[in-house]
Structure 1
Amino acid sequence: MKTRVLFLCLALIFSGTQVFAQLSKKEKKEWKKKAKEFAKNPANLKTLVETKQVVETDNSALKGQVSALNNDVSNKSAKIAELEEQIAKMRSELTSTKAELAQLKEAPPINPMDFSKGVVFKVQIGAFKNKDLAKYFDNNPNFGGEATDKGEQRFTIGVFRDYWEADKFKKYMRDMGVKDAWIVPFKDGQRVEIKDVLEGVVADKK
């Protein structure tokens, strides 16, 4: 019985002849002595075996935890990559928005109610001498006029961004008896020739 216990001790301690063969003579002698002590006291051997089993169980559990941590790190790395991609996309959108904002600051959109900017069309109803109606201009944005070199006052009614709306209004005025009603274009508050804006008007109609 003791011989069996002795061999079992040696097997547990060295886990194979290869490890045992690597020991020096002094180490072999010391471990043989320890094996004999375990053979004399099986309780100590039992404790050693149980301790070894506990250590192996703990080692297996730790390996499982390490594997789980590696998976967690991998998942977090994938999440970080996804977030970095989203951040890059948002930065790109922010850059585009800033560029659009800068463009708007350089060339702000025309306020449709600010007829002093851009091209507008008015319907002139006549040119008269000795008729000063300028006092009505400020309070009536749809009624305007301008003086000519000949001492006449040109009067206009209506302000339109769309040429064809102005043309429709001109026809209404003629139907009402204002036979001299015709369209005059203005650009940035200055009267211009119809040919200077006619190309854009025709293109819009098409």
Structure 2
Amino acid sequence: MKSKISFIAILMIFCMAFSVSAQLSKEEKKEMKALAKELKKNPEQMKAMVDENESLKSSVASLTAEVENLKGQLSNKNAEIAAAKAEAQEAKAMAEAQRQRANEMAKKAKEANNSEPAALDESGTWFKVQVGAFENIDMSEYFKNNPNFSGEDTEEGLQRITLGRFRDYWEADKFKKALRQMGVKEAWIVPYKDGVRVPLKEVLENLTAKPQGAGN
């Protein structure tokens, strides 16, 4: 057994010496030969070196496998990080698009609020239904952008409130009667010519014939 171990030891040393002989100096070669002779005399030490070498090989293989496993985990983590970055960029782009859309809508709403209302066509004859003249009341803020609800101030400090805008007198008359049925007893028709309030008698002679079913 000892002779077998000695043979293996000598063979290993020979192989090692052969593989590195081109790189060793003369002094290093002498040291290697001396070591070979020493190990030949001490097979137990040689066996310990062989066992240690096998153990180191096993450790290296285990560490190599662990390194490969860590490389795989690192690759997976890098892929997860790349996916997370892409998702974050997409979310950022969507948020920016929504912000721009909201700003555009807010800008349009602001422009709509600040824009001047379209001028009403006051030409010709119009009929409105006055529902009352009130003192110490101001409804002007409700007249904006609402052509069917208007009013005007009198010299006496009253505010006359009118509802509706009709080209046809008889349509205005139907609306007046409907208001009276709802309890607005003072509802009556007032005519306007080119935006100016005029007496009703000035326009009565030009009225078209009363349609059938219009009532009194």
Above 0.5 in TM-score? Answer: yes
Q: Shift of residue 144 of structure 1?
A: 3.6
CA distance in 2, matches of 1:27, 1:3: 27
- What TM-score comes out, normalization by structure 2 length? 0.53
Q: Shift of residue 33 of structure 1?
A: 2.1
Matched residues, number: 157
Question: What amino acid maps onto 1:70 in structure 2?
Answer: K
Q: Shift of residue 106 of structure 1?
A: 1.6
CA distance in 1, matches of 2:150, 2:64: 92
Q: Pick closer, same or farther for the CA change 1:108–1:134 going to 2, 3 Å.
A: farther
Q: Pick closer, same or farther for the CA change 1:84–1:20 going to 2, 3 Å.
A: closer
Q: Shift of residue 146 of structure 1?
A: 2.2
Q: Matches of residues 1-206 of structure 1 in structure 2 within 5 Å?
A: 4-13=4-13, 15=15, 18-19=18-19, 21-22=21-22, 23-108=24-109, 126-127=128-129, 132-133=133-134, 138=139, 144-147=149-152, 155-156=162-163, 174=174, 177-178=177-178
- What TM-score comes out, normalization by structure 1 length? 0.55
Deviations 1:33-57 (A, max 9, x none): 2122112111111110111111111
Q: Which runs of 5+ in 1 are unaligned?
A: 158-170, 182-206
Deviations 1:143-181 (A, max 9, x none): 943239xxx956216xxxxxxxxxxxxx9x948845999
Q: Pick closer, same or farther for the CA change 1:2–1:145 going to 2, 3 Å.
A: closer
* Contact residue 6 and residue 43 of structure 2 kept, 8 A: no
Structure of greater Rg? 2
Q: Pick closer, same or farther for the CA change 1:127–1:2 going to 2, 3 Å.
A: closer
CA distance in 2, matches of 1:177, 1:56: 110
Q: Which runs of 5+ in 2 are unaligned?
A: 119-125, 154-158, 165-170, 180-187, 190-216
Question: SS of 1:28's equivalent?
Answer: helix
* Contact residue 129 and residue 162 of structure 2 kept, 8 A: yes
CA distance in 2, matches of 1:118, 1:63: 81
CA distance in 2, matches of 1:82, 1:17: 53
Question: SS of 1:90's equivalent?
Answer: helix
Alpha-carbon RMSD: 4.5
Identical counterparts, % of pairs: 20
CA distance in 2, matches of 1:134, 1:108: 36
* Contact residue 6 and residue 36 of structure 1 kept, 8 A: no
